[in-house]
Every structure is written in structure tokens, then in C-alpha cells.
Amino acid sequence: MIFSLKKQLILKGYTGHVSRFLQYSNKNLEYVTGNDVESYMFMLLNGQQNSHSYVNQSLSAIKFLFKYILNKDDLLYELSRPKKENKLPEVLNNEEILAVFSKVRNYKHKAILYLVYSSGLRVGEVVRLKVEDIDR
């Protein structure tokens, strides 16, 4: 049941990507070229400011269409994918940190926040933190 739901979501996503591409190209599938797909990818990345993963999924959907449905595997062979983005996390400045700490009234919660902030723990590390892990 879960597998079929996953297949449905992938199918819905792929058909959406393909239909948006066909609207953009405004051509019959027989006349679509690799340059059309490349300009569409460029428009998605730079014109609409979509994420690299979104553009990669769109390219995968279009490649799937050409390879398995239209049997034109060679048309999009040389198209390169955008590289994965390296996003830096957002960091709070000193005033924002002090504002968060000043809002907390419960001493136990405040102690937990100070511990997490001062030790630089990640969310997964905080969730698995045990009393035995703290060296008093």
C-alpha cells in the first residue's frame, strides 16, 4: 500500500513536470530538441529561482519521457544536471540569542537551552541526550 502511494506521488510529480515543460516549449514532442530542454532548465534555475533538486527532478521526468515513452534516449544524453546546493544554516546573532533566552522562564528549559547552545549540539544529538552523557 505504501509502495503504491509512493508510485502515485512520483507519477503525479513527473506528469506535472512534463506538462509544464510542454507548455513552456509550445512544440509538438517530435520537434523538441535538447536545446529546448536546456533552455527550460536554465529558465527554471535562473528565471524562476527554483531549487537545484526541483530542476533535477524536472530533468529526470523529461529524460524518462524521452527514454522510455518516446524511445529517443540519445536526445538528452549530454545534458548536465545542476550541482547540489551547499546551503549554509541561518545563524542567530547575539541579540536574537539573548532575546530567546530572556523569554524562557522555566529554569529547567533555560538550562537545556544554555547546554544546547553552548555545546553546539545538533537536533539529533539533543534528542538522544541522556543524563549520563553530562559530566558534571
pLDDT digits (tens, 9 = 90+) for 67-120: 888 887 777 767 777 777 777 888 889 999 999 999 999 998 998 888 888 888
The three-state (H, E, C) secondary structure of the chain, written as one string: CHHHHHHHHHHHHHHHHHHHHHHHHCCCHHHCCHHHHHHHHHHHHHHCCCCHHHHHHHHHHHHHHHHHHCCCHHHHCCCCCCCCCCCCCCCCCHHHHHHHHHHCCCHHHHHHHHHHHHHCCCHHHHHCCCHHHCCC
Which residue ranges make up each domain of the chain?
2-76, 94-133
| Per-residue pLDDT reduced to its tens digit, 1-45 | 555 777 888 888 899 999 999 999 988 888 888 888 889 999 998
* Domain 2-76, CATH number (from 1.10.3720.10, 3.90.550.10, 1.10.150.130, 3.40.710.10): 1.10.150.130
The whole-model pTM stands at 0.61
